[in-house]
């Protein structure tokens, strides 16, 4: 949305009350199926066990690090995130087992302008094809917008189609591709950018909340309606298969 200034020039809409925000604190965020708690070195053993369930390292193809294969390597990986002042790092805790099954971070935190990114998304096989990953992202989105952030971004390797699909499924809008934005593991990386902005959050929050509710999702994480039904217009909408 644009406005005209006193010279008749198009400018962005006014934010007369905008004030810079505080960076998000590393606090526990609790959902039905998972919780996010500040990542600690003590999570290393559970994370190693969870990631070791994968038969190979294909889930790490688009990540910056190689898959840790020993407790020492996992501790180094966890410690690197914990010591990075630019990140707010979380372990994803399965509510049933109370064990860490993945990790995720707030990154590129621009509190001056109210922009933040969800990044370093590292799911183990225990989080794949179930509700845990979706709820973990929902908890981060809810935290960011409650704190007053105006924009939550998601970026991924342009060849990581699963990551982009996951973001779009949760309500992120594709913005464009930064060509040759990075090099990673001796390869070129083009980066896709997606985002949710504050004016979109109410609708997205309502859809995610309804989808995750006991009326739709049983305690085992089995859904009656797919998330797309709630984005399409409500729980009486037949989901498209």
Dump pLDDT digits (tens) for 87-98.
Answer: 999 999 999 999
pLDDT of residue 129: 86
pLDDT, averaged across the chain: 94
pLDDT of residue 2: 79
pLDDT of residue 238: 37
pLDDT at position 228 over 80: yes
Specify the pTM: 0.94
3-state secondary structure of 87: coil
pLDDT of residue 232: 83
Mind giving me the DSSP string for 183-225?
A: EETTEEEEEEEEEEEHHHHHHHHHHHHHHHSTTTB-TTS-BSS
List 36's β-bridge partners, or say none.
29, 92
pLDDT of residue 17: 94
pLDDT of residue 235: 47
- List of residues 6+ apart from 238 with CB closer than 8 A: 229
* Backbone φ, ψ for residue 100 (5° rounding): -70, 130
pLDDT at position 19 over 90: yes
**Cα 148 → chain centroid:** 17
Predicted confidence band at 233 (pLDDT cuts at 50, 70, 90)?
Answer: low
pLDDT at position 187 over 70: yes
Q: Can you tell me the mean pLDDT for 71-86? A: 97
CA separation for the pair 31, 35 (Å, rounded): 5
């Amino acid at each position: 949305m644009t406005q005209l200034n006193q010279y008749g020039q198009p400018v962005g809409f006014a934010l007369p009350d905008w004030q810079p925000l505080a960076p998000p604190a590393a606090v526990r965020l609790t959902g039905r199926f998972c919780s996010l708690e500040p990542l600690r070195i003590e999570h290393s053993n559970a994370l190693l066990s969870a990631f070791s369930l994968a038969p190979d390292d294909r889930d790490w193809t688009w990540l910056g690090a190689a898959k840790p294969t020993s407790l020492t390597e996992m501790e180094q990986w966890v410690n690197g995130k914990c010591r990075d002042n630019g990140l707010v790092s979380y372990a994803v805790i399965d509510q049933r087992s109370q064990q860490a099954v993945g990790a995720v971070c707030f990154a590129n935190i621009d509190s001056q302008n109210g922009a933040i990114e969800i990044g370093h998304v590292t799911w183990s096989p225990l989080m794949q094809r179930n509700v845990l990953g979706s709820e973990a992202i929902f908890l981060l989105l809810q935290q960011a917008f409650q704190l007053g952030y105006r924009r939550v971004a998601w970026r991924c390797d342009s060849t990581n189609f699963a990551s982009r699909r996951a973001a779009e499924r949760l309500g992120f809008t594709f913005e464009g591709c930064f060509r040759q934005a990075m090099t990673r593991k001796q390869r070129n990386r083009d980066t896709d950018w997606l985002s949710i902005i504050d004016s979109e959050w109410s609708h997205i929050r309502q859809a995610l909340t309804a989808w995750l509710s006991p009326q739709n999702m049983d305690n085992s994480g089995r859904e009656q309606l797919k998330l797309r039904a709630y984005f399409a217009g409500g729980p009486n909408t037949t989901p498209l298969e």
